[in-house]
Chain A
Amino acid sequence: MFPPIPNPSTKPATPKFGEQDLMRRSASSVTPPAQRQTEVAKLIDVSKCIGCKACQTACLEWNDLREEIGVNHGVYDNPLDLTPASWTVMRFNEWVNPETNNLEWLIRKDGCMHCEDPGCLKACPAPGAIVQYTNGIVDFVRENCIGCGYCVKGCPFNIPRISKVDAKAYKCSLCSDRVAVGQGPACAKACPTQAIVFGTKEEMKKHADGRIKDLKSRGYKNAGLYDPPGVGGTHVMYVLHHADQPQLYSGLAKNPTISPIVEIWKGLTKYAGLAAIGAFAAIGLLHHVVSGPNRVSSEDEQNAKRLAEGGSR
């Protein structure tokens, strides 16, 4: 058993991290603290997951969210997708393994991956609406969110959702409020099979190694850890039986990166755009200084008068 995080004390505790531990802040520059906090991570072992959705309900409960009661869509997925209230959903895929001809029901808990290089934060135009702590948690700060949805475009995993009610962006916070007082995320707490465990990133990688060995011994030769380098690694990782084909798990991105379009938009365009605007304004000014105004001369007026009065040709 992965040692469970002990129950919290009832005494008030000072948060383990806060404003002073930011390493990125949307639309602002911050000076990261000299000492980075130990990186944390949540490990989701897909091979242990029974798709019970306890994590989904725990998430609703802890974050005091109300998901609407929908309908059946012909699948077990409910809600069918992430919503502003459902920050995590189970995704079910029925796949017949061509090698064994056996059915495999691949169940993946979807939610924010807490990228080391978060695309949402990069895209966000509102100062401080998205922050990244030095322990790796990427959090949305509701008061600062303007609901523009740029985070949706920035995210390589299609995670953030904009509420129709208050027009703010919502996603998993990795229970930053719980982690700050030494607890693990609510989903990990609720998971009956320890398919979700939480700890330092190093511990999680080590735990994953053991799991991968076990899976390999059961014939899953491509078992592996999903910690995609394209986004600098993530603070939510998966153990997959078929790590060579993450897309089998309801479209988990194979090589996720921040979209090059977003990179251009938030990189080159941002600077080149302002430069162009500035250049145009400057050239105008310069032109005016150098060549002076283009004035109508009295001769022109005379010519016009003559023309109007029918004199000139």
Chain B
Amino acid sequence: MKTSEIAPGDEVHRGNPVTVDRYTAAARVNHWITATSLVLLALSGLALFHPSLFFLTGLFGGGGLTRMIHPWIGVVLFFAFVGLFLRFWRLNLWKSEDGTWMAKLRDVIAGHDENLPEVGKYNAGQKMVFWLMSILIVILISSGFAIWDQYFSEYTTIDQKRVAVLIHAVAAVVIICVWIVHVYAAIWVRGTISAMTRGQVTGGWAWRHHRKWLRELVTSKR
């Protein structure tokens, strides 16, 4: 059986150009809460990660407040991401065409979408971002709790904390890199950002990057 590539709210609107509803308002709000949290976490985290970035604590009202706020933002991010996860996980399941897509990474990078297989709502790259984010956030929140000494210091040993702090740092670096990929992709692939701002993309964008998704939307509408 063929699984649907459509999420609730996805809809094609005829017109010139054709527009496609990609994200509902709720999904967008959810995304931006997550995004803001992640940025703030990155800034506050980096401030405590490398002395040369300690000045960033100024954004949060000083070192002490940065230390205090960071984990709470993490909690916000976690729950926000749980929302995203519940919305998106199904369409991010790995499909056969994703392997083919990945195999043609050179074409992906070169922007030769025409050489790529038709993909559903998400391509393999987006799926990888999604799953990496999911895994990393779980890693970050759990390692974060282990070093959130203000409330949880007695639940872990110092050795565990040391491992946790290293994992937290590495995971944070990785998630920032993933985030860079995510943001860059959104910028590079023009027409993407509107999906998360207005909730819509053009039909051409969908045709070019997510043709399978578009086809299914059109079909389902008939």
Interface residues in chain A, defined as those with a beta carbon under 8 Å from any beta carbon in chain B: 27-28, 125-127, 144-150, 152-153, 158, 162, 167, 259, 261-262, 264-265, 269-270, 272-274, 276-277, 280-281, 284, 287-288, 291-305, 307-310
Give complex CA distance A293, B158 in Å.
48
CB pair B166–A296 under 8 Å, yes or no, is: no
Q: A153-B161, A158-B158, A296-B208 are in contact. Are A277 and B14 (CB under 8 A)?
A: no
Give complex CA distance A147, B67 in Å.
7
Stretch in contact with the other chain, from B25-33, B43-51, B78-86, B131-139: B43-51
B184-222 interface bits toward A, Cβ cutoff 8 Å, 1 = contact, 0 = none: 100111110000000000111111100000110010001
Interface residues in chain B, defined as those with a beta carbon under 8 Å from any beta carbon in chain A: 12, 14, 16-18, 47-51, 54, 57, 62-64, 66-68, 109-111, 113, 147, 149-150, 153, 158-159, 161-163, 165-166, 169-170, 172-174, 176-177, 180-181, 184, 187-191, 202-208, 214-215, 218, 222
CB pair B207–A307 under 8 Å, yes or no, is: yes
CB pair B111–A303 under 8 Å, yes or no, is: no
Chain B residues with Cβ below 8 Å from A144 are 63
Give complex CA distance A149, B57 in Å.
16
CB pair A301–B165 under 8 Å, yes or no, is: no
Chain B residue with minimal CB distance to A273? B173
18 pairs from A and B in contact (CB 8 Å cutoff): A126-B54, A146-B62, A265-B162, A265-B166, A269-B169, A273-B172, A276-B173, A277-B177, A287-B188, A293-B188, A294-B190, A295-B191, A296-B204, A297-B208, A298-B204, A300-B207, A303-B204, A304-B204
CB pair B184–A125 under 8 Å, yes or no, is: no
Q: How far is the CB of B39 from chain A (nearest CB, A)?
A: 13
Chain B residue with minimal CB distance to A161? B153
CB pair A291–B111 under 8 Å, yes or no, is: yes
Q: A259-B162, A301-B202, A307-B214 are in contact. Are A127 and B51 (CB under 8 A)?
A: yes
Give complex CA distance A20, B43 in Å.
32
Among all A-B residue pairs, the 6 with the closest Cβ atoms: A304-B203, A146-B63, A301-B204, A300-B204, A27-B51, A284-B184
Give complex CA distance A280, B62 in Å.
28
Give complex CA distance A270, B17 in Å.
48
Chain B residues with Cβ below 8 Å from A297 are 204, 208
CB pair A269–B204 under 8 Å, yes or no, is: no
Q: A261-B162, A265-B162, A277-B176 are in contact. Are A301 and B207 (CB under 8 A)?
A: yes
Contact of B49 among A127, A262, A270, A305 (CB under 8 A): A270
Give complex CA distance A263, B68 in Å.
25
Give complex CA distance A229, B66 in Å.
36
Give complex CA distance A293, B190 in Å.
7
Give complex CA distance A261, B166 in Å.
7
Contact of B180 among A146, A152, A277, A304 (CB under 8 A): A277
Chain A residues with Cβ below 8 Å from B18 are 301, 304-305, 307-308
Contact of A296 among B109, B176, B202, B218 (CB under 8 A): B202
Q: How far is the CB of A179 from chain B (nearest CB, A)?
A: 28
Q: How far is the CB of B35 from chain A (nearest CB, A)?
A: 17
Q: How far is the CB of A159 from chain B (nearest CB, A)?
A: 11
Contact of B173 among A147, A153, A277 (CB under 8 A): A277
CB pair B177–A262 under 8 Å, yes or no, is: no
Q: How far is the CB of B189 from chain A (nearest CB, A)?
A: 5
Chain A residue with minimal CB distance to B111? A294
Chain A residues with Cβ below 8 Å from B163 are 261
CB pair A153–B158 under 8 Å, yes or no, is: yes
Give complex CA distance A213, B187 in Å.
75
Q: A273-B173, A280-B181, A296-B190 are in contact. Are A305 and B158 (CB under 8 A)?
A: no
Q: A27-B51, A276-B173 are in contact. Are A150 and B188 (CB under 8 A)?
A: no
CB pair A269–B188 under 8 Å, yes or no, is: no
Contact of A304 among B17, B68, B147, B150 (CB under 8 A): B17
Give complex CA distance A292, B111 in Å.
9
Contacts beyond the supplied A146-B57, A296-B205: 6 A-B pairs with Cβ under 8 Å: A270-B50, A287-B109, A300-B204, A304-B203, A304-B214, A305-B17
Give complex CA distance A80, B69 in Å.
31
CB pair A148–B48 under 8 Å, yes or no, is: yes
Q: How far is the CB of A226 from chain B (nearest CB, A)?
A: 21
Give complex CA distance A49, B19 in Å.
83
Chain B residue with minimal CB distance to A307? B218
Contact of A149 among B50, B149, B177, B206 (CB under 8 A): B149
Chain A residues with Cβ below 8 Å from B174 are 276
Chain A residue with minimal CB distance to B17? A301
Chain B residue with minimal CB distance to A148? B67
Chain A residues with Cβ below 8 Å from B207 are 296, 300-301, 303-304, 307
Q: A148-B48, A261-B163, A307-B215 are in contact. Are A300 and B64 (CB under 8 A)?
A: no
Give complex CA distance A79, B161 in Å.
24
CB pair A291–B208 under 8 Å, yes or no, is: no
Chain A residue with minimal CB distance to B207? A304
Contact of B64 among A146, A150, A158, A262 (CB under 8 A): A146
